[in-house]
Structure 1
């Protein structure tokens, strides 16, 4: 007979603490093709009403092959919640501290993006630590279209 169900134990991963992470750990996030529907959804959510993001003929008159993705539309592909990280730190995560991004190449409707996260910094303090993550997004032609950083404050493993 199995033990009674406990919702607190219904987890994807055992909790990890700051000290459990290692430099170089890499997390591949789901790939996604930037469809016209995703462009429309992003425009609706962001309120950005520049025609470069929703009017394909406007873009073609300016020499672009299709609608141009907004930088934030690319950035959100690196949301840690699309991968396993937030499920690993359910009990130890204190907060998302900051992020920065550089947009290197244009992304158009129809492009497929391949985001990934890699732990590149571990800065311990007495009871917490900062996990630094490098975020990258490549396109279907293997070109790096965005790179950035994210930092999270995570508790260290309790003594005992």
Structure 2
């Protein structure tokens, strides 16, 4: 199975709310930089799932869209748009890129997400929106 397919399967598990299935795709000692430059990483499955539970409180109806990707033997690089509804129903849109590391057994050992955290937080709070000049980054055909 390709790294891309493994990642898409994890996203599908998340969208279904199946956190046990998500956890089964993570190495016990996974390091997930869910906001690589603004927050400390989640270390291990338990912290990663705790992050997803908290994230689920501020996001619903995920419409994650992947635009492009590249794979190496043990790594997936992707460019995407995070697109979800905030707790008050407002739409949150932000371009982002991610890198996912895989062990030989297919488990995810590392994950780094890169995006504008202030833009997401501002959209969730209702005080910001995606700048017009960035719309081309998210309004293009996705892989799905």
Name which one, 1 or 2, has greater alpha-carbon Rg.
Answer: 1
Higher helix share: 2
TM-score by length of 1: 0.30
Larger RCO: Structure 1 or Structure 2 (Cα < 8 Å, ≥ 6 residues apart)?
1
